[in-house]
Structure 1
Amino acid sequence: MFSKLKEIKDLRSQAKTLQNALKDEHVDTSAAWGKVKVKMNGNQEVEEVTIDPELLTPSKKTDLENGVKEAINDANHKVQKIMAEKVRKS
């Protein structure tokens, strides 16, 4: 029983170490012809969103919405690849 508890404690420690390492990773991505940019850290937290003022008009609403969605999803996929690589190395 104690060996199981030790395994759980070790796994928690490894997870915390991985989480701390991922926090220092960052990905940058863009969408909508480079007019929407997203910066995300390795813990999948969006740190920055930059939108070209050209997209801030009612006629460009759909382009803006699609661009934000696309940029965030792309950043998420990039972070997931980084996570998988770090897990393989640990």
Structure 2
Amino acid sequence: MFEKLKFLKDLKSQAGQLKEILANEEVEGLAAMGKVKVLMDGNQKVLEVNIDPELVSQRESLQMALAEAFNDAVEKVHNLMAEKLKEYGVPGGMDLPGM
């Protein structure tokens, strides 16, 4: 029982460290052949959105491209998280709250 509690305490500590590391990582989601870019940190916080002026007048295309770019960035963050979790020795497929 105490071993499980120690493991959970260690895991929580490592998760906190990992969140700090991920905050310093950045991924870029792209859409519309690079005309829409979403920059996101490793904790899924949007840092920047860039839109090519050419798309501004094309409302539907812009909406679809924004959704695609956000989804691309989120997928890249999930891959980054999985990679970092492996470095910490956390088995794949483990869903950690807040991560």
Residues 29, 71 of structure 2: 8 Å contact kept: no
| TM score, norm. by length of structure 1 | 0.88
Correspondence 1:1-90 to 2 at 5 A: 1-57=1-57, 60-90=58-88
Gaps of 5+ in 1: none
RMSD over aligned CA atoms reads 1.3
Gaps of 5+ in 2: 89-99
How far the C-alpha of 1:5 sits from its partner, in A, is 3.4
- The residue type paired with residue 37 of structure 1 is K
For residues 16-52 of structure 1, the C-alpha deviation after alignment (integer angstroms, 9 at most, x for no partner) is: 0111111111011321122111101000111100111
Which structure has the larger Rg? 1
Secondary structure (helix, strand or coil) at the match of 1:33 reads: coil
